[in-house]
Structure 1
Amino acid sequence: MPADDQDPVELGVELLAHLEHAELSVADAIDRIETVTTNPQLQREILDTAVMRGVVDREDGLVRPRSQGTYVNFEADVIVREGSFSCARCGASISTGHFVQLDGGELGPFGSTCIRKVLGREN
């Protein structure tokens, strides 16, 4: 699916559905959502939609995914491509891009450190 045709709300909700932590602060959840959109209204819509659909619970400044074990698998769900990219998280120039394949579309590119942060494998 071309990046322009991807629904940022669907991508963000799907990303939240794949959180690896039992809970995250709302700020950390927004940090992940920022990889989909930096628009504050869309970020709020993503979080509200995820709560409304029962994907996550939000209480006392924490976000908790409702389904455990649906993590992004690095071997199956992350595609690595060589080229000239800018990291979607930090903006750094990278020659190896990591792209997360979700049902709603593709997120990325991310550098090797940022992909771990986006997926919750590194703080």
Structure 2
Amino acid sequence: MSRDASDDGDIEDPVELGVQLLARLEAPELPLPAVIDRIETITTHPETTRAILEAAERRGHISRDGETVTTAGGQFLSFESEVVTKEGDFECQRCGASISTGYFMQLEAGEHGPFGSSCIKKVTGRE
């Protein structure tokens, strides 16, 4: 069963989950809309999105210069231990596609997913 990304009520702390997601991005630099695309896998609430960006910047995980976001890097997710796959009947958290293999990120703030094989690369900044 998938979670509606616009309803972050079932996430214990969406801001912390979002900050941890941004801290683990692999791309050294992304346009702000691409960063927001990743945050929208957690929430679409503007206030929560803003809180995630501000907290990630305050903690030194990202820096913003206009429409460009630079990541601190160095804390990439290990696809062997921190991204797990599960078989089942899922809906991709990013694109909404029906998937039978879901990729889930194991972050300290909680599990985040499921994502399809191409969306997990987008969300982690590998693509």
TM-score, normalised with respect to structure 1: 0.90
1:49 to partner: Cα distance: 1.2
The equivalent position to 2:104 in structure 1, one of 87, 90, 99, is: 99
- Indicate yes or no: 2:76 matched with 1:31: no
Aligned to 1:84: 89
1:8 to 14, 17, 27: 14
Gap regions ≥5 residues in structure 2: 1-8
Runs (4+) off by over 4 Å: none
Q: Of 54, 60, 71, which residue of structure 1 is paired with 2:66?
A: 60
5+ residue gaps, structure 1, are none
Shift of 1:11: 0.5
SS of corresponding position for 2:75? coil
TM superposition shift of 1:59: 1.1
What CA deviation, in whole Å up to 9, does each residue of 1:56-86 have, x standing for no partner? Answer: 11112111122x2211111111110001111
Question: Partners of 1:5 and 1:21 in 2: how far apart?
Answer: 25
User: 2-side partners of 1:57 and 1:30: how far apart?
Assistant: 14
- Aligned pairs, number: 119
Give the % identical residues: 55
